[in-house]
Chain A
Amino acid sequence: SQQGEEDPQALSIQEGENATMNCSYKTSINNLQWYRQNSGRGLVHLILIRSNEREKHSGRLRVTLDTSKKSSSLLITASRAADTASYFCAPRTGANSKLTFGKGITLSVRP
């Protein structure tokens, strides 16, 4: 398995603004997953994008994947205070079942 590297480490925005978070990885993947974690809670799966997909939407979330650059981005549009959380990406190779997480991105949305 391989670890995703999230960027930036911390992001602070005003409610209503968009938040863009980036993830880079090193080797070929089968899919890449994004998770959210509210303080002191378990992780919540947000979206999974397969290696043959370039973009995926779910509500206010938009994920892109560029396999040539080995990178992905998560865009949250019209952010809300409730989006305040840590966000993790998890690139997944075909052979491994476990997920390997980086340090994540701490997003703060100011009301």
Chain B
Amino acid sequence: DTGVSQDPRHKITKRGQNVTFRCDPISEHNRLYWYRQTLGQGPEFLTYFQNEAQLEKSRLLSDRFSAERPKGSFSTLEIQRTEQGDSAMYLCASSLSARVSPQYFGPGTRLTVT
């Protein structure tokens, strides 16, 4: 499968625990994005990378959130000290860097914080 993959697909955690999600983009894509989506809403932008450089972070990305993309390949999104409000679908997407390149989304990681 040459699409965007995310792992895990589902995560249930207790409040206060740390969680880490992984995203593997389409191999030739140099841009990688993270979005968060809650029920009934569209995805909200969190952050994006061009190669290994994190170029933009949303104000939604509090200090408890950190994302990395070492070596410009896969990316991880970590949430520390999870809160119930962090429960959402976390979506990863990748694209080429051209302005007219669409973004290709992974299946998402559904996080439930109990």
Instruction: Indicate whether A69 reaches chain B with its CB closer than 8 angstroms.
Output: no
Contact B100 A99 (CB under 8 A): no
The contact of A99 among B45, B55, B97, B107, by CB within 8 Å, is: B45
A window 58-86: CB within 8 A of B: none
Query: With contacts A43-B105, A97-B55, A101-B43 known, is A50 near B48, CB below 8 A?
Result: no
| A13-54 residues at the B interface, CB under 8 angstroms | 30-31, 33, 35, 40-45, 48, 50
A41-B100 contact given A97-B48, A98-B45, A101-B42, CB 8 Å threshold:
no
Are A41 and B107 touching (Cβ within 8 A)? yes
Q: How many chain B residues have a CB neighbour from A under 8 Å?
A: 28
Q: How many A-B residue pairs have CB under 8 A?
A: 62
CA distance A1 to B44 in the complex (A): 12
Say how far B34's CB is from chain A's closest CB, in angstroms.
Answer: 10
Q: What's the nearest-Cβ distance from chain A to residue B108, in Å?
A: 5
The contact size tier of chain A is 20 to 34
Closest-CB distance, A56 to chain B (whole angstroms): 12
Q: Which chain B residue has the least Cβ–Cβ distance from A88? A: B42
Q: Which of B45, B50, B95, B108 contacts A42 (CB 8 A)?
A: B108
- Name the contact of B43 in the complex, choosing from A43, A45, A50, A94 (C-beta under 8 A): A43
Tell whether, in the assembled complex, residue A45 and residue B42 are in contact, meaning their CB atoms are under 8 Å apart: no
Q: Which residues of A contact B (CB under 8 A)?
A: 1, 30-31, 33, 35, 40-45, 48, 50, 88, 92, 94, 97-104
Closest 3 pairs between A and B when the two form their complex, measured CB to CB: A101-B42, A42-B105, A45-B102
Binding site for A on B (CB under 8 A): 4, 31, 33, 40-45, 48, 50, 55-56, 89, 91, 93, 95, 97, 99-100, 102-108, 110
Q: A42-B91, A42-B108 are in contact. List 9 more A-B contacts (CB 8 A).
A: A30-B99, A33-B103, A50-B100, A97-B48, A97-B95, A97-B97, A101-B44, A103-B41, A104-B42
